Structure 1
Amino acid sequence: MIRSVIVLAGLGLGLCAALAQSNPIGERQQAMKAVGAATREGAAIAKGEAAFDTVKAQAIFKTFAEVAKKMPTLFPESSKAGGETTAAPKIWEDQAGFKTAFAKFEADAAAGAAVTDLAGFRTAFGAATKNCGACHESYRLKK
């Protein structure tokens, strides 16, 4: 089961990479869906609704790190509009801050990959997901 989730996540990210050449908006939406799925799984673990499992925890943080690394490349000038994007203009106005936000998310995700127990997972997961809220607040249009 866990191996299947990891394989599917990898395939999904691979498929997203192929789409990036022609559809950066679609790729970043797929990447955010992967983060959303990992976040839901992590939230269930953090809340005690699902059992802590080191392999699952590592897969969650791996998804976060991979998306964080790739995401800044998915905002070319040509993708400011079109599609159903919620990307705020501030992304292009503050590229340095935007890239810094993803670098922090990637670093927090990498640190989380080393957790070995529930308490450590909760701390690392909280730190990583705090980045999501901060980035969305600054760089995402409100619907």
Structure 2
Amino acid sequence: MQARFLTIAVALATLGASLAALPAGAQNTDPIKQRQELMKENGRSAKGAGEMIKGEAAFDPATAATIFTEMHDVAMEFGEYFPEDSKTGEDTEAAPAIWERPAEFQAALVKFQEDTQAAIDAAPQDVEAFRQAFGRVAENCKGCHEEFRIDKDG
């Protein structure tokens, strides 16, 4: 009887040790990679906007429309990539606040979607109108980065 008890105790201890060696929760890195790629796309669009606003590139209404359309496409897709199992890994900059305050995060995404759509609808035909429309869109980026992004550079 004692031998059987000892065997069960050793088996349970071994099982416990092997479970402890596993990560607390397996992380799904695919959504992390996808949202990082979307933010790179957004960054490229923002860079193009900045170049036109600063006069480093000629203002072009078609290019302005493309920038806003690309940013809107990102805004529409971005929220799909935050499942519970994608909080860590792949050097993510997603802040815990995304999962702690999901309604606020969703509201920020909706505002970004609405403002990028408004910028598309405005169809700026000169650099000043573009600057104003892009300023409203960029405020979304800034606000979301302050609330829902971990700044690993600063």
Q: Report the secondary structure of 2:42's partner residue.
A: helix
Alpha-carbon distance between aligned partners in 2 of 1:102 and 1:116, rounded to the nearest angstrom: 27
Tell me the CA shift for residue 118 of structure 1: 1.3
| 2:139 corresponds to 1:130 | yes
| 2:125 corresponds to 1:116 | yes
TM-score by length of 2: 0.76
Alpha-carbon distance between aligned partners in 1 of 2:125 and 2:103, rounded to the nearest angstrom: 34
Where does the alignment leave 5 or more consecutive residues of structure 2 unmatched?
1-27
Map 1:18-29 → 2, pairs under 5 A: 23-29=30-36
Tell me the CA shift for residue 79 of structure 1: 0.3
| 2:74 corresponds to 1:73 | no
CA offset digits 1:77-123 (Å, max 9, x no partner): 01011211010000001111111111111111111112222111000
For 1:83, which of 81, 90, 98 is the aligned residue? 90
Tell me the CA shift for residue 22 of structure 1: 7.0
Who is 2:3 aligned against? none
Sequence identity (%): 43
Alignment: residue pair count = 123
Map 1:1-143 → 2, pairs under 5 A: 23-113=30-120, 114-143=123-152
Alpha-carbon distance between aligned partners in 2 of 1:139 and 1:36, rounded to the nearest angstrom: 17
Runs of 4+ aligned structure 1 residues displaced above 6 Å come to: none
Aligned-residue CA RMSD in angstroms? 1.3
Moved more, 110-119 or 40-49: 110-119
Is the 2:94–2:150 Cα contact (8 Å) retained in structure 1?
yes
CA offset digits 1:12-52 (Å, max 9, x no partner): xxxxxxxxx97100000000000000000000111111111
Alpha-carbon distance between aligned partners in 2 of 1:60 and 1:107, rounded to the nearest angstrom: 15
Moved more, 107-116 or 121-130: 107-116
TM-score by length of 1: 0.82
